[in-house]
Amino acid sequence: VSDTDIKELEDVFGLNGQVEHKLSFLKKNVSKDIKLVLIAHSIGCYITLEMMKRASELQVHSPCGAGLGRASTLVPTIERMAQSPQGKLMTPLLCKLRYILYMPVYLLSFLPEGVKASLVRFALRGMKTCDESSITTSINLFSVDCIANILYMASQEMMKVVERDSTTIKQNLKKLIFYYGTGDSWCPQNYYDDIKMDFPDGDIRLCEKGLRHAFVLDASKEMAAMITDWLQDDLTKL
C-alpha cells in the first residue's frame, strides 16, 4: 500500500480498493507512453476490465485474463459469480459465516513452519505435480490477517460481480483474449457460450487441455507458454 500512495483509500482490501491500488501503481511507476500487456486470472480479469474502464488513457495493447480456470483473461470471473456452481456453495460461507474460520486459523498459526508445509502438501496430495512455490505461498493462509482479507474481498466479489460489463468489453474487444475452462465451477461453460454468442468476433477460447481454475498450482509453466505463443506476434510489434 505504501508504494502506491493510497493509504487514505478506506477500503484498500475490498474489490474497488484493489482496482484503485493497481491503477495507482501504474500511474506512479509506469510512464504514460509505455504500451502495456495485462495478464489476469480469475477475479483479476474483472479488475483488468475495471482498469480499462476507469483509465482509458492507459495504452493497453492486449490484456489477458483467464476463464479457466484458464488464461489471458484466464478463467475470467467477470459475471454472475454467486450464481456459479461454486458461488452457490461458497456465498453463504463468505458473506455470513466467514468469521467462524478465524479461530481455527488463529490456532493453526502457532504451528511450526514445517508442520504447516506438511499440512499444505497433504491438502494438495491429489495433484500429479505441484509447484513448490505453491507450498511456500500457501503457508500464508495460516495467517488470520491474510485469511480475513481474502474472505472479505471474496464476499464482495459474490455481491458485486453480477452483470458482465459488456460495454467495456465491446469498446476493447480487439485487445482482449478470453480463455474459459470446460469444467470450471467458478466460470461454467455456459458463461463461455453466452459471451461467445454476444461477441462472435471476439478472441474467446475454450480450453481443450483440461486445466483447472487454479492452474497456478500445477500448470503454471504450461499456461505461461500458451500465453507467450498467443502474444508473440503482438509483442514483436510493440
| pLDDT digits 0-9 by tens, 70-116 | 235 688 999 999 999 999 999 999 998 899 989 999 999 999 999 99
A 10 A CB-CB count for 127 gives 15
Amino acid letter for position 77? T
Query: CA 237 from chain center: how many Å?
Result: 27
Supply the pLDDT for residue 237: 64
| pLDDT digits 0-9 by tens, 22-52 | 999 988 898 888 888 888 999 999 999 999 8
Supply the pLDDT for residue 185: 93
| pLDDT digits 0-9 by tens, 206-216 | 998 888 898 88
Q: Cα separation of 165 and 145, whole Å?
A: 31
**Set of cell numbers at residue 30:** 509506469
Q: Counting beta carbons within 10 angstroms of the beta carbon of residue 201, is it exposed (0 to 12), middle (13 to 18) or buried (19 or more)?
A: exposed
Q: Which of 41, 155, 213, 218 is catalytic?
A: 213
- The CATH 3.40.50.1820 domain(s) of the chain lie at 3-80+163-236
HSE-up (13 A, CA, CB side) for residue 32: 3
pLDDT range class, residue 119, cuts 50, 70, 90 = very high
Q: Is 198 a catalytic residue?
A: no
Specify the CATH number for 3-80+163-236; select among 3.40.1260.10, 3.40.640.10, 3.40.50.1820, 3.40.50.261.
3.40.50.1820
Q: Cα separation of 232 and 218, whole Å?
A: 24
Q: Is 42 a catalytic residue?
A: yes
Q: Which of 41, 42, 84, 138 is catalytic?
A: 42
Supply the pLDDT for residue 232: 81
Point out the least confidently predicted range of 67-71, 149-153, 166-170, 176-180.
67-71
Q: Is 56 a catalytic residue?
A: no
Supply the pLDDT for residue 70: 27
pLDDT range class, residue 58, cuts 50, 70, 90 = confident
Across-strand partners of 74? Answer: 41, 179
